[in-house]
Structure 1
């Protein structure tokens, strides 16, 4: 059965969530703070992480940053009472996959968990060699992007998958709903915000070649101009 790493400092809430998940067949590893959560993650990589944002010793955002330095693939769901747009965007920028506001129902949490666990993005076909994107060379299998033969920047798995799809549709529109369903599993509001964050990241990666642009096509999607 899938293993969930639950990191929550509110003991009463953690007990309810842990018992409810185990009753539905999940294996739950529990940690009461961010530092313990990171130790448990390093000892045994779970199938998914469910973490509070505001925790002692190591907050959820810092925890996510450290997890993403080690593992780009494991899904992370944030639990938080904070719902400002800036907080949501920061969570996605740090590699979060979903965001659930407290108080929440267990049914909603389980739906979110199952959606992340069942998401199987269709991988783009690996090219024979680095792809030319203006002055950049994109090594899709290795998830690296280099400018003019210089040092390579490492891309996350999600960044590489998104850039490959933009490249395959270069100078044409990549539809937003299509990429959301392929890489995120559905086109919900929070997944849409996550996609926006990754588009912003890619723009930063290619900012040193002014001939390369990633345009918003309002209401439709994005276009890579090379």
Structure 2
């Protein structure tokens, strides 16, 4: 199986890449600086277009993992600058769409291809405490995008799943987070394996529990 993972140089992306390689799969992992072997800045349309030329074989599983969280400490009255909105949506929403779009020929060339979009429970309407407004809104948009893509691509035999990876001990999640990268990766890889046309459009937790939209 050939798996392409965006943001594969650290955290969950790196963990997934290492697990799949250990299992004998072919992995293409991307990073902005090219340290993983394939350079990709999902916020740069030219960089995304170049990805198509860097990948020469069908893609069985595309994991859209690259993302940013830039508004952890913003306040409602004076924070949330316009550039934070633009940068966040460019990475967390537009970047996901552009990556899927440019990889469509590679996905169509595989039998039973799958797309996994890493969103967050923070994008759910049931998780809205009134902070991290930009990140929450972007992850809600990524969730909506994934559901729409699942309907658009189902007739072509391509399944799309959207996932909350857990509160993970990464640079983004922090040391106080509830689960390790290994725990998240084990759960997510099981979710990806279970993804098919019968449950395309699902929004699930890393441990298999369905998540409210």
TM-score normalised by L of structure 2: 0.45
Structure with bigger strand share is: 1
**Structure with greater contact order relative to length (CA < 8 Å, sep ≥ 6):** 2
TM-score normalised by L of structure 1: 0.43
Rg larger in 1 or in 2? 1
